[in-house]
Every structure is written in C-alpha cells, then in structure tokens.
Amino acid sequence: MPIPPALLTPDLSALTDGIYPQPLRQTLAGQTSQFITSTPPALASPQPQASPVPVVEKAKRLAAWTAVDRHVLPEHKVIGIGSGSTVPFVVERIVSQGKAVNKDRVFIPTGFQSKELIVNAKLLLGDVDQYPVIDVTIDGADEVDHDLNAIKGGGACHLREKVLAEAADTFVIVADYRKNSEVLGTNWTQGVPIEVAPFAYAKVLQNLHLIGSPKATLRMAKAKAGPVVSDNGNFIIDAPFPREMMQDPYTLLTRIKMLTGVVEVGLFCHMAKAAYFGNEDGSVLIKWHDGKTEHVDSSASPKLSQNDEISATNG
C-alpha cells in the first residue's frame, strides 16, 4: 500500500482525522507550535566593570611613592629593595624616574620577590657582596612602633632585610596605616619572627618558652607539607611575647639573639631613619627617627591616576 504523502511531509497545521486521530493531532500541533513560536530568552551581554582598587593598596602606593620621591635621589647609585606587599610600588615609582637616571644604578634585593621585581623592571641587579655599602634601602614592615622599632619577617626574609638595612646609609620603611602602632605586637599578633638553624629549632622553641613565649611555634608552610624554609635554608619560629616585654624591643632582641641556634630576629631596633604610612584619606604620615612627625596632606601627596583616586567606600 502506498505511503500517504502527509506521512512523508506532514503539514501539522492542516492535519485530518483520516491520517492522525484527533488527540494525537492536537498534541503534535501544540508541540510544534511551541517549538516554532518560542524564542530563546535574550542573554544579557556581560558588561566588564573595573574592580576598584582597595583603599589599603592605594595607601601602600602613596607611602611608597612619597618615600621614593624624597629618598631615592639622582645621586643615589646603589639602592636596596626590600620585601613585602608595599615594595612593588617602590619599584614602580623608581622606574617612573626614567631610564636615563636608572641606567647607572644598581639594585640589591632582599629576597626572591624583590629580585624578580628588579629583573622584571629591567633594572640592573646587584648583590650585597659586590656593594656592601648601600645609599638607601626602602623596605616594608609588619608593624612599626612610636620609636620606629619594627617587626619584620612575615615573609621570612628578615635576615637579608636586616643585612641591607644595616648596610644602608639611609633605611626607610613604607607601609599602610594598619602597620602604625604605639607598641609592637598590638596589630601584628602572630609573634616575633625568628630565623633558626633547622637542626636547632626544637631547642630554640624550648628556650623561647622559658623566656616568656609559651606559644612560640614553628611556622608551617601552606603550599607544601612541612615548615616554611627561608631563602637561606633555615626554619622560621613565630614567638608572641607579652606587651610588657614588647615595650622594650631592644632588650627582647638581645635575649632572643643570644639563644644558640638563632640566626636572626625580626626585631629592627634603632635602624630606620623614617617610616611612611599611607592613610585612608590619601594623606601620608611620616615618622622620623628623632621623634618628629610630618603629615603630608592629600593635596600634596603624589597624584594617583583618576582610576586610583582614594574613596572611603572602597576596600
């Protein structure tokens, strides 16, 4: 029997009961109508939006730029570059001084991070072995007290950082407003970073517990199993001390440094000439080693680009 033409190319809009029963015809026609008439919902095109730069990052940049403008002068030829989240802005500002002035300069890193910053900025890389006297070193800090004593070592670079700070004619700290305090240990509560020889860490821990830090612990790595290892191949201990001991950081530094197995202590006492703190409102607070302070109003601070202008609602 020949196949009805309607079965070969069905016209669902003109179905007859002879070919399809009424219920089936209605079902097919309804489904076909749905497919024909329905249109996919319009998808809204994603509109790219620039993420606002957090206030803290802008504060770091202001501190770094102001310090570079005042302390990295054309006559400075050997410059120490520290470690931490504020230091990229230091390198950024130095690069902006131009190739002509930077071509005769040598930059000494405190660790892997600052070495990469120097190399990526196409600045001349040097070593403290070659240049034991540095014109100026600019570095970050985990916390700075009213006398410019500082806690450093959150990034496990404080041995090399202290070498470059001591080698510099001028040592300058740059940070954001959160790092500014009256007494060390107020904001930075993780403890004093202490670099130790790996085979001596257990004995050092025991001695730290005895001299006033019962919660001293070996710093463990987050991206690998085991402890953090410094660029020098050593372990790091974080040792919190009570406030009364932190009020005299130099005495505490001396006591810790005398423990056998301690390589270096993340207390930087009487070393900085100035500390620059970027504030939320776009101003910069400068603390000097002689106890004087200076407030650089936002109108006098280095100008950020329009996209980087500080807003109290960001961050």
Residue 313 has pLDDT above 80, yes or no: no
Q: Check: CATH 3.40.309.10 for 55-307?
A: no
Separation of first and last alpha carbons in the chain: 80
pLDDT 10s digits, 35-91: 444 555 555 555 555 555 689 999 999 999 999 999 999 999 999 999 999 999 999
Specify the pLDDT at position 16. Answer: 46
Strand 235-239, strand 217-218: pairing: antiparallel
Specify the pLDDT at position 299. Answer: 72
Residues ≥6 apart with Cβ < 8 Å to 281: 298, 310, 312
pTM of the model: 0.79
* Residue 109 φ then ψ, to 5°: -90, 155
The DSSP code for 72 is: -
- Alpha-carbon distance of 69 to 61, in angstroms, equals 12
Catalytic machinery residues: 161
Mean pLDDT for 220-224 is: 92
Residue 4 has pLDDT above 50, yes or no: yes
* Residue 264 φ then ψ, to 5°: -155, 155
User: What's the residue count for the chain?
Assistant: 315
Helix (H) or strand (E) holding 238, with range, is strand 235-239
pLDDT 10s digits, 182-194: 999 999 999 999 9
- Alpha-carbon distance of 11 to 287, in angstroms, equals 87
The pLDDT-based confidence of 172 (bands split at 50, 70, 90) is very high
Specify the pLDDT at position 298. Answer: 79
- Alpha-carbon distance of 143 to 81, in angstroms, equals 18
Out of 30-34, 109-113, 180-184, 234-238, least confident range: 30-34
> 99 to each of 94, 102, 121, 123, how far by Cα in Å?
10, 5, 11, 9
Strand 235-239, strand 168-176: pairing: unpaired
